[in-house]
Structure 1
Amino acid sequence: MTIAILGPTFKELATNVDKNISDISYIFVGRSLGYVGGCLTGGVLFDHINPHLLIGISMLMTALGMFTIPWCTKAVLLTALMSLIGISMGFLDTGGNLLILLTWGRKVGPYMQALHFSFALGAFVAPILAKPLLGSLGKSINGSGNNLLTNTRNSSQSKVARLVDMLKTADPFTWTYLVIGSFVLLISVSFFIIYLKNGPSRNRPGNSSAEAQFTRYHNVILFLLSSFFFWYVGAEVAYGSYIFTYAKDFVHFDDNQAAGLNSLFWGTFATGRGIAIFLATCFHPGTLILLSLIGCTISSLLLALYNTNIIALWLGTGLYGISMAATFPSGVSWVKQYTHTTGKSAALFVFGAALGEMVVPALVGFLQGISAIKHYPILMLTALGTSAMTAILFPVMYKLASSPSSVQPVSDDRKALLGSGPDEDEISEELPEDWNDADFEVIEMSDVKNDIDGTPARNASTRTTDRFSPEHSVFPSLSSPVYLGGSPKKKLLQLEREKND
């Protein structure tokens, strides 16, 4: 809501600072630069400071900025406030994704989808809150304020009179920022309560023994994921920003039809993220990414080939919006399956997304202004090109993440003892924590005894269970094959391999 409210109230902001709309477009640049700085700074801080405290501080900064913006009459101060909000939003994006990963771990799928669905929901609610909903509220406040101000005219210095006078002069534009700021302030207080209840030392990002696993290509995968989000988020913002203009200038829609096409894109986008919450409980993140990439490729190809066909434009826009919805949260959940995510790594892919949000829309706008190529469907070709880039990057990331050399190898002794069936997680769960060399020696001695007595060999788990039974308490002599065959672990590995053959 804080990010999306800037568009519907841009005209009022320009009026407040006595500027034209075109003269204060640099506030977007200030907010974007603050956002990038917040992402990078937050990535470092979240590795050392409690995430609840940092998110609470960032939300408090946002609330203060929202309370101050309606009364700002200087363009420089407005730009500074937008930069402050951008910094806090960068903190929130980095810390929010990281905190969700730390809280639910490998089961993060539906919770990550719900987090990003709330972004789309806020962007949908903000314009409604700015115009129709609070318009009637402002009128009612003005009417009641006149009556109450008349009753308190003789005591103009009273606090009630000053408060009523402030409410009387507040328009829907001001009320919008006050309502959103109050909501953000409430969430900030909630995070401070969680921080005080848990204590400063709890829930601090750290490397647990179960989670602190890095693949061999950890840095490469994070870099490719950042590039992946660069193209994806850039395409999302560019299409949502320019589809209205494209529909009017290129397909010759009227204002209502162009606005309807724009609403269709964001409506299907929000709907897709809502549906993805339930799909994430049934499908792996990689599967959702694959389905999203297929949908984006098909829809962007349809839009590029039939760029002036009305039916193709409506169908392609709806399919493109719903296909893009689950990509970002699924990507964040997907990388959690293969490597440990820290504050710095979360900041890296959020930085890639922020950079794409700035670069790709600016590039599309620049190309559309060139007279030699403006008759080409630049927006649709951009959608097709970014879909192709993401469709190439994800298989490469998946190949690196799932390659055998990138997985921490299990020792030969464990493989020989437990066989090749279970994966690494199952091995770590089934193997006792106090496993040591003596256990291997006991199992080896029981194998030798079984070979001498002619009794059938039992599996490893059965031998481990009764390794301290009386029948296994016989110690072989120095000439036993246990000592002639080298170390117990090596002989056990050789025996197991022979049995498997």
Structure 2
Amino acid sequence: MKLLDERLWCLFKLRWQQTLTYWSVFFSFGLCIAFLGPTILDLRCQTHSTLQQITWVFFSQQFFLLLGSSLGGLFKKTLLCSLSALFSSTLIISLVFSIIPLCHNVILLSIAMAIAGLAMGVIDTIANLQLVKLYQKDSAVFLQVLHFFIGLGALVSPLVADPFLTEENCVQSTKGSSNSSSSDIGHLRSSMAHGAGMLFHNASRYPLHTEGISITRVSFAFWIMALINLPVPAAVLALIYHERLLPCSNDSQRLLDRDSTSTTAGSADDGHGSVFSCCHPDKLRGRPPTFFLIHILGGAILFITDGIIGSYAGFVYTYAVLPPLSMAHKTAGYLDSVFWASITAGRLAFIFLSYAYKANRLLIFSLMAVILMQCLLLLFYTSDVFLFIGTCVLGLCISSVFPSMLAFTEDMLNYKGCATTVLVTSASTGEMVLQLLVGSVIHSKGSYAFMLYGTVASCIGFCLLLLLLYTQYLHKKQTGVVSSPLRSSY
């Protein structure tokens, strides 16, 4: 079997600059989404805030990421509008990295992270939209690569930050006493790796100084990440120039007029936009019930699966250090890195699998494997070794669900619906809401509820997938194309 179909390779060669640009902006997304957890204690020292106050920075980023995902589709009316939004968003991320060291107040830091979250949400929606629009029925492979770049950015960010993190309490009390050991600091840093592990739960157990001299070198990490990210907005700007959309281009006005005309001509059929514009009565009139069901079920599946990813990443450390496992905090701290590394590796592997197998089969396989692994983790809940193995396999299995679901759902709706915006928004919502829910469950019911939640959620997700496949069959029947519900539409 060839690694890449000759036709796909020809398509890529024709559109390589657009494709590489969209992939690179997702590197920015991953770079920005992963830095906050490892650096949060140093940022607490920089802002002289309590743990309860600094956890609001996580919420600020997540909430505005959700808002940006919901509104991102508004920028796709023309290619210039989409690329301008991507350029602005990626440049904002570099600017936020640059100004974070200057935020010596937790409110200013929360505002900076809100702006970054908004930019991330816009990137998430537009990059997915444009790549689906660019390749349509051939988008599955390219979407897998797109989401691989999130994992790549998420791996680079903590590596850049790590040499500059403070191992002990970085606020030195003027009284000369310290009430937190380096062991406590290490435990806290691992707990807050992705924001959920300590979010509003038990933060008061670790009293840390807020008054005194701040000793931290984390500013250098943010400035390095700002420089690493700068080539991304430069690549977007180069694409704008390549497409002759800059005012200085001789052919720019002609191309802008053509782009505007094609957008107007296609507006009756193209429903992509914000979540709110997708609900406009004019766009919903005459649609069969299965049209709405496909959006609802696809969004619900990603709400659950991205929620599983977010909650597992945020709480696997907390689960490991609590009884009955009671791991050492340094050992448990590796679990989160193993999980994200396996997700990145899984997306790399699924690039080739998505070429060989259809998206619906990959979804069935992935969700069945997730259920099996969650059940085994629940069964062997006292085994340290199996927790590492299970974490790795779970990341591999769940890694491809989002890009496969996006390609599959858009294809079912013939690339005329609001599927991308709805799915991206649903995934962002699930990641934020289920982390809060799982945090409350662990806090009130104990650590065993963590694995039980994951098993139940994955079973619900698989049942929803089966219902989606049946809905696909009914939808094709209503629109005059009958095929097996297990057969891919491409």
Change (3 A) 1:71 1:263: same
Please name the residue that 1:21 is paired with. 51
Q: Distance in 1 between matches of 2:427 and 2:37?
A: 20
Please name the residue that 1:309 is paired with. 383
Please name the residue that 2:250 is paired with. none
| 2:406 counterpart letter in structure 1 | V
Pair 1:233 & 2:335 matched: no
Please name the residue that 1:380 is paired with. 451
Q: Distance in 2 between matches of 1:215 and 1:398?
A: 19
Q: Distance in 2 between matches of 1:304 and 1:134?
A: 35
Pair 1:92 & 2:123 matched: yes
Q: Distance in 2 between matches of 1:202 and 1:63?
A: 33
Q: Distance in 2 between matches of 1:53 and 1:91?
A: 11
Please name the residue that 1:59 is paired with. 90
1:404, CA displacement in angstroms? 5.9
Are the counterparts in 2 of residues 27 and 79 from structure 1 also a CA contact under 8 Å? yes
Please name the residue that 1:219 is paired with. 292
SS in 2 for 1:385: helix
Q: Deviations for 1:118-142, whole angstroms, at most 9, x for unmatched residues?
A: 111111111111123899xxxxxxx
Q: Distance in 1 between matches of 2:234 and 2:334?
A: 38
Change (3 A) 1:404 1:81: closer
Are the counterparts in 1 of residues 44 and 54 from structure 2 also a CA contact under 8 Å? yes
Change (3 A) 1:246 1:41: same
Are the counterparts in 2 of residues 215 and 401 from structure 1 also a CA contact under 8 Å? no
Are the counterparts in 2 of residues 215 and 338 from structure 1 also a CA contact under 8 Å? no
Are the counterparts in 1 of residues 409 and 419 from structure 2 also a CA contact under 8 Å? no
2:151 corresponds, among 107, 115, 120, to 120
Q: Distance in 1 between matches of 2:287 and 2:477?
A: 5
1:343, CA displacement in angstroms? 8.3
Change (3 A) 1:201 1:13: farther
Q: Distance in 2 between matches of 1:344 and 1:290?
A: 23
Change (3 A) 1:258 1:225: same
Are the counterparts in 2 of residues 215 and 408 from structure 1 also a CA contact under 8 Å? no
Are the counterparts in 1 of residues 410 and 420 from structure 2 also a CA contact under 8 Å? no
Pair 1:295 & 2:369 matched: yes
Are the counterparts in 2 of residues 215 and 407 from structure 1 also a CA contact under 8 Å? no
1:20, CA displacement in angstroms? 2.5
2:399 corresponds, among 317, 320, 325, to 325
| 1:353 counterpart letter in structure 2 | A
Please name the residue that 2:186 is paired with. none
Are the counterparts in 1 of residues 164 and 221 from structure 2 also a CA contact under 8 Å? no
2:439 corresponds, among 365, 368, 377, to 365
1:263, CA displacement in angstroms? 2.6
Pair 1:70 & 2:101 matched: yes
Are the counterparts in 2 of residues 113 and 330 from structure 1 also a CA contact under 8 Å? yes
| 2:340 counterpart letter in structure 1 | W
| 2:239 counterpart letter in structure 1 | I
Farther-moved stretch of structure 1 (211-220 vs 83-92): 211-220
1:368, CA displacement in angstroms? 1.4
Q: Distance in 1 between matches of 2:419 and 2:227?
A: 32
Change (3 A) 1:212 1:20: closer
Q: Distance in 1 between matches of 2:154 and 2:472?
A: 34
Are the counterparts in 1 of residues 406 and 419 from structure 2 also a CA contact under 8 Å? no
Q: Deviations for 1:68-90, whole angstroms, at most 9, x for unmatched residues?
A: 11111122111111100010001
Q: Deviations for 1:380-432, whole angstroms, at most 9, x for unmatched residues?
A: 0111011111101111111112336556338xxxx9xxxxxxx9x99xxxxxx
1:264, CA displacement in angstroms? 2.3
Change (3 A) 1:189 1:315: closer
Are the counterparts in 2 of residues 47 and 343 from structure 1 also a CA contact under 8 Å? no
Q: TM-score, normalised by structure 2?
A: 0.71
Pair 1:40 & 2:67 matched: no
2:221 corresponds, among 176, 194, 197, to 176
Q: Distance in 2 between matches of 1:203 and 1:319?
A: 45
SS in 1 for 2:327: coil
Q: Distance in 2 between matches of 1:67 and 1:298?
A: 44
Q: Deviations for 1:86-132, whole angstroms, at most 9, x for unmatched residues?
A: 10001000001111101111111111011111111111111111123
Give aligned-pair identity as a percent.
24
SS in 2 for 1:73: coil
Change (3 A) 1:172 1:117: farther
Are the counterparts in 2 of residues 212 and 340 from structure 1 also a CA contact under 8 Å? no
Q: Distance in 1 between matches of 2:259 and 2:86?
A: 13
| 1:184 counterpart letter in structure 2 | N
Farther-moved stretch of structure 1 (10-19 vs 397-406): 397-406
Query: How many correspondences in the alignment?
Result: 377
For residues 181-220 of structure 1, the aligned pairs below 5 Å read 181-198=226-243, 199=245, 200=256, 206=263, 216=288, 217-220=290-293
Are the counterparts in 2 of residues 47 and 344 from structure 1 also a CA contact under 8 Å? no
Q: Distance in 2 between matches of 1:345 and 1:336?
A: 6
Please name the residue that 1:408 is paired with. 479
Q: Deviations for 1:334-381, whole angstroms, at most 9, x for unmatched residues?
A: 1122114468432211111111111111111111111xx32x611101
Q: Deviations for 1:232-284, whole angstroms, at most 9, x for unmatched residues?
A: 01111111111111111031111232123333222222211111111111111
Are the counterparts in 2 of residues 42 and 343 from structure 1 also a CA contact under 8 Å? no
Are the counterparts in 1 of residues 321 and 332 from structure 2 also a CA contact under 8 Å? yes
Are the counterparts in 2 of residues 44 and 344 from structure 1 also a CA contact under 8 Å? no
Q: TM-score, normalised by structure 1?
A: 0.69
1:39, CA displacement in angstroms? 1.2
For structure 1, list consecutive stretches of 5 or more residues without a partner in the other structure. 136-169, 416-422, 427-501
Change (3 A) 1:261 1:190: closer
Change (3 A) 1:203 1:185: farther
SS in 1 for 2:230: helix
Are the counterparts in 1 of residues 291 and 475 from structure 2 also a CA contact under 8 Å? no
Farther-moved stretch of structure 1 (18-27 vs 389-398): 18-27
